[in-house]
């Protein structure tokens, strides 16, 4: 299908304008003065900025395109995205403030940093860093796929899509290298405003255009395709899959490096508590977007590629101006999360692999430069990987969720379990990863989300082995801070 030149021009102008803002936000040299300044903004972001930043982190183009695609093909299975975010925000209210306080006191910028100090183990820190980096590459690739799909629909017949995608991601790498976390934070404000305005406009307007009203649309779906409104009771993706996918995804959400980066930018623990309360507002958009998948099912011709469901629905419904505004919103929802993910992955590599294992005597200025330069490596690897294995991205990202949840016991349990040992935690993490990848490779999940089996094995191994090593634990300032007299620190963390 031919693209729309007006839509393409509007998309290009808005995206380039936002990228320019990203560069301008980093013109102050203090943004590049240290790893802490570059990666977490000196921990000075208030509630609203954290809300925009974490929202940009977690609600990406893959969220919008993926949800409508899932609804288009699998119906109500797409609703698993709603309970999983509720689970994530609920538990984050209790553990993120404590994690934030610890990170501020010790000037740490990654979850692997926390594990190294908490367990006095560079190996466990290294393991968490490797898992974090490897699992993020396919996730960054999905952002690449999001902008590639958007440009394909908007620009077919006008541009070389692959060349423009490469240029777009290089621009993002440049402004991330230059501006650090402030670049994606201030551009996230624009992106999130567009998401709320444009997506709400689409979800209100599209059912009216094609069915006359929301009520008529629901009647049409209930009459002609009732299977879209139910979750299968059996099969590979039935209710057990829905429940375990929601749980695993919820527990994994704040284990991602980019999510942790957003958390560590906060200026107070209270900002994180408020975000745990208000971030679920994004679910309003998600719920309505799922219904757009149902609209696409009845409007688009049979045989439409599901990954283009939302984009094609916009294309057949509007003229160039609205298309351009919608496409630019989706493009920004690809590029801005990519920037934050690159910061998270670069931090893990520079701090927990390069500094801890390769060059322990590295000077702060050199470490800052290495961290910033890793942005180009991470985004470059994602570009290459995405072009070599384009059909594997979604399945690998889902595997990434199953992989990331395996660090949950090492991070969250250890914030509240004083006698948790590094030996049992490391063994549990390794077993969890092996079980997850085995289940994934063999396809023997028995209708359960793969990561659930790995997490179950992880927790069992950790709990069973832990008593064998408790005698090796010695009191130290780190444990005293987490569990001793500083236990009441949350009263003074604002």
**Residues 182-206: tens digit of each pLDDT:** 888 888 888 888 888 888 898 889 9
- With a cut of 60, say whether residue 490 has pLDDT above it: no
Highest mean pLDDT out of 158-167, 213-222, 395-404, 419-428 = 419-428
Residue 386 burial (10 A CB sphere; 0-12, 13-18, 19+): buried
**How confident is the model over 46-56, as pLDDT tens digits?**
888 888 888 77
391: pLDDT strictly greater than 70: no
Cα 197 from Cα 34, distance rounded (Å):
36
**Measured between alpha carbons, how far is 375 from 461 in angstroms, rounded to an integer?**
36
Residues 146 and 330: beta-carbon distance below 8 Å: yes
Contact between residue 226 and residue 433 where contact means Cβ atoms under 8 Å apart = no
The number of CA neighbours under 13 Å toward the Cβ of 168 is 31
Determine the pLDDT at residue 489: 46
pLDDT at position 398 is 66
Question: 80-109, pLDDT tens digit by residue?
Answer: 888 988 999 999 999 999 999 999 888 888
DSSP, collapsed to helix, strand or coil, labels residue 444 as coil
Are the C-beta atoms of 344 and 132 separated by less than 8 Å?
Answer: yes
Rg (CA), the chain: 22
Residue 167 pLDDT more than 90?
no
The percent of residues above 70 in pLDDT, for the chain, comes to: 94
- Tell whether the model's pLDDT for residue 126 goes beyond 90: yes
Most confident of 146-155, 156-165, 213-222: 213-222
Average pLDDT, the chain: 85
pLDDT score, position 405: 94
- Mean per-residue pLDDT for 372-380? 88
Query: What's the predicted TM-score (pTM) here?
Result: 0.87
Q: Which residue has the higher pLDDT, 78 or 463?
A: 463
Reported as a pLDDT band with limits 50, 70 and 90, residue 485 is: low
Least reliable range by pLDDT among 144-158, 217-231, 293-307, 345-359: 144-158
Residue 486 has pLDDT above 80, yes or no: no
Please say if the pLDDT value at position 386 is more than 90.
Answer: no
26 SS3 class = coil
Angle formed by the axes of helices 122-155 and 111-119, nearest 10°: 170
List the one residue out of 148, 138, 188, 141 whose CA is nearest residue 168.
Answer: 148
pLDDT score recorded for residue 493: 52
The percentage of the chain sitting over the pLDDT mark of 90, rounded to a whole number, equals 23
In whole angstroms, give the CA distance from residue 28 to residue 337. 22
pLDDT at 455 over 80: yes
State which CATH number among 1.10.150.130, 1.20.1730.10, 1.10.150.120, 3.30.70.1230 fits the domain covering 5-391.
1.20.1730.10
Residue 230 has pLDDT above 70, yes or no: yes
* Top-confidence range, 210-219, 403-412, 436-445: 403-412
């Amino acid at each position: 299908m031919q693209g729309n030149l007006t839509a393409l021009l509007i998309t290009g102008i808005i995206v380039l304008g936002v990228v320019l803002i990203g560069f301008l936000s980093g013109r102050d040299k203090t943004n590049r003065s240290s790893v802490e300044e570059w990666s977490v903004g000196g921990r000075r972001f208030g509630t609203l900025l954290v809300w925009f930043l974490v929202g940009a982190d977690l609600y990406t183009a893959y969220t919008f395109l993926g949800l409508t695609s899932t609804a288009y093909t699998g119906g109500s299975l797409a609703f698993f995205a709603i309970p999983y975010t509720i689970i994530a925000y609920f538990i984050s209210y209790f553990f993120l403030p404590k994690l934030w306080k610890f990170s501020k006191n010790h000037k740490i910028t990654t979850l692997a940093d926390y594990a190294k100090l908490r367990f006095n183990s560079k190996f466990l820190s290294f393991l968490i860093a490797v898992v974090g980096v490897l699992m993020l590459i396919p996730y960054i690739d999905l952002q690449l796929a999001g902008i590639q799909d958007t440009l394909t629909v908007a620009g077919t017949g006008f541009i070389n899509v692959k060349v423009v995608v490469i240029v777009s991601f290089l621009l993002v790498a440049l402004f991330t290298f230059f501006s650090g976390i402030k670049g994606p934070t201030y551009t996230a404000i624009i992106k999130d405003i567009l998401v709320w305005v444009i997506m709400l406009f689409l979800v209100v307007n599209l059912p009216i255009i094609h069915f006359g009203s929301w009520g008529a649309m629901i009647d049409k779906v209930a009459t002609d395709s009732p299977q879209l409104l139910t979750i299968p009771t059996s099969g590979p993706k039935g209710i057990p899959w829905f429940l375990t996918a929601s749980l695993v995804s919820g527990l994994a959400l704040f284990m991602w490096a980019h999510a942790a980066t957003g958390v560590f930018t906060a200026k107070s623990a209270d900002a994180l508590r408020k975000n745990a309360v208000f971030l679920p507002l994004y679910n309003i958009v998600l719920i309505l977007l799922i219904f757009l998948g149902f609209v696409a099912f009845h409007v688009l011709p049979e045989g439409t590629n599901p990954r283009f469901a939302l984009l094609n629905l916009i294309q057949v419904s509007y003229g160039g101006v609205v298309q351009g505004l919608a496409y630019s919103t989706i493009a920004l929802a690809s590029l801005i999360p990519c920037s934050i993910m690159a910061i998270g992955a670069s931090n893990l590599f520079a701090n927990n692999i390069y500094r801890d294992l390769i060059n322990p005597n590295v000077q702060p200025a050199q470490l800052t430069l290495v961290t910033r330069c890793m942005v180009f490596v991470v985004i470059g690897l994602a570009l290459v990987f995405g072009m070599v294995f384009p059909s594997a991205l979604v399945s690998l990202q889902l595997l990434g969720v199953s992989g990331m949840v395996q660090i949950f016991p090492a991070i969250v349990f250890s914030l509240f379990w004083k006698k948790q040992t590094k030996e049992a935690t490391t063994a549990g993490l390794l077993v969890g990863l092996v079980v997850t990848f085995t289940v994934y490779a063999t396809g023997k999940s028995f209708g359960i989300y793969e990561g659930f089996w790995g997490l179950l094995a992880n927790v069992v191994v950790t709990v069973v082995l832990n008593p064998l090593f408790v005698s090796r634990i010695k009191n130290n300032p780190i444990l005293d801070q987490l569990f001793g007299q500083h236990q009441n620190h949350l009263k003074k963390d604002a």
